[in-house]
Amino acid sequence: MTRTSAAELQPQALRHDWKREEIRAIYHQPLLELLFQAQQIHRQFHRPGEVQLCRLLSIKTGGCPEDCAYCPQSAHYHTEVRPGALMSVEEVRRAAEKARSEGATRFCMGAAWREVRDGRDFENVLAMVRDVASLGMEVCCTLGMLNEHQARRLAEAGLTAYNHNLDTSPEYYGAIITTRRYEDRLRTLEYVRRAGISVCCGGIIGMGESDEDRVGLLHQLASMNPHPESVPINSLVRVEGTPLGEAEPTDPLTLARTIAAARILMPASRVRLSAGRRSLSRESAALCFMAGANSIFFGEKLLTTPNPGRDEDELLFRDLGLRAMSRV
């Protein structure tokens, strides 16, 4: 009989000094080996079967000056998204209350901005953050680039987390976005961290990137100290009219592989199986949970594109024996 050594029972220490080769070796393991390891590590740091329910709301839709090749909200492309003004504080409050009554413990507000500008709109966003925080939910925003002062004001308003994705490797970034640089993203993330806000940072797979680009993205994320508390792994939602509208569909096994590697590299973080669940079979979603995903967006809509309905997700949770994370 084999005995488990004390070292094996100790949760492994968090590392921030991963070498690219180590990440490559983890990522390229036989898939079932990788999933097994990821699940073992997952159980050292998280309650098995528990998944956080997050609700996403687009508080300011479309007309964005950035040219992100995946995004239906970019003003550079002709899509069905109609640009709108910032929602009212009252409407957002009602949406957050509804999300909470449906079981969400995190509310994420997205704006199609390149960067935050000081003024009336930002003051309203701060009021939204205060409102959502007062409901006892984790509150997250994704508003584009920030300066240091804006990050501090969001922190004072009670913001839990700021979402700002690196999307892909530094090498592939220029093929996807030309209107900003990787360093711009890293700078905003630094301001967020310094303001004491937790970091939500991940990427998208299925944009024509290579395994090496996914390894490169994971390397960037896992080198952050501390790691992003929340790591959204999106599978590209292909939207007609965007340059990536006709991209090859993402291989769900690649999605599961990326999630498993993220779980191993950043054991204490929440890994979110984010956009793209509508194109994922129940079996593929199960693999992603096995790989260590423990957070999802639930509700009929992401920002501008559809997401599985609540009934469908309730059934999935029941059939997989998953539980929604209770109050945070």
Minimal CA–CA distance to 279: which of 205, 175, 211, 214? Answer: 205
Q: Tokens 């940072």 map to which residue? A: 201
Which one of residues 72, 252, 267, 299 is an interface residue with ligand DTB (CB under 6 A)?
72
The torsion angles phi and psi of 224, rounded to 5 degrees, stand at -70, 140
* Residue numbers 217-276 binding ligand SF4 by CB under 6 A: none
Which one of residues 52, 73, 188, 307 is an interface residue with ligand SF4 (CB under 6 A)?
73
Residue 228 is a binding residue for ligand SAM (CB under 6 A): no
For the question of residue 64 being annotated catalytic, the response is yes
Residue 142 is a binding residue for ligand DTB (CB under 6 A): yes
Residue 23 is a binding residue for ligand SAM (CB under 6 A): no
For the question of residue 108 being annotated catalytic, the response is yes
> Whole-number minimum distance, CB 239 to ligand SAM, in Å?
5
Residue 116 is a binding residue for ligand SF4 (CB under 6 A): no
CA separation for the pair 48, 8 (Å, rounded) = 18
Q: Residues 141, 200, 201, 288: which is the catalytic one?
A: 200
Residue 237 is a binding residue for ligand DTB (CB under 6 A): yes
Q: Tokens 């960037």 map to which residue? A: 220
Residue 71 is a binding residue for ligand SF4 (CB under 6 A): yes
Q: Residues 54, 108, 201, 288: which is the catalytic one?
A: 108
Amino acid sitting at position 274? S
Q: How many residues bind ligand SAM (CB under 6 A)?
A: 19
CA separation for the pair 267, 255 (Å, rounded) = 17
CA-CA-CA-CA torsion for 59, 61, 65, 71, nearest 10 degrees?
Answer: 110
Q: What is the x/- site pattern for ligand DTB, positions 248-277, by CB under 6 A?
A: --------------------------xx--
Minimal CA–CA distance to 279: which of 256, 308, 303, 258? Answer: 308
The helix/strand count (H/E) of the chain reads as: 12, 10
| Footprint of ligand SF4 (CB under 6 A) | 64, 66, 68, 71, 73-74, 112, 114, 144
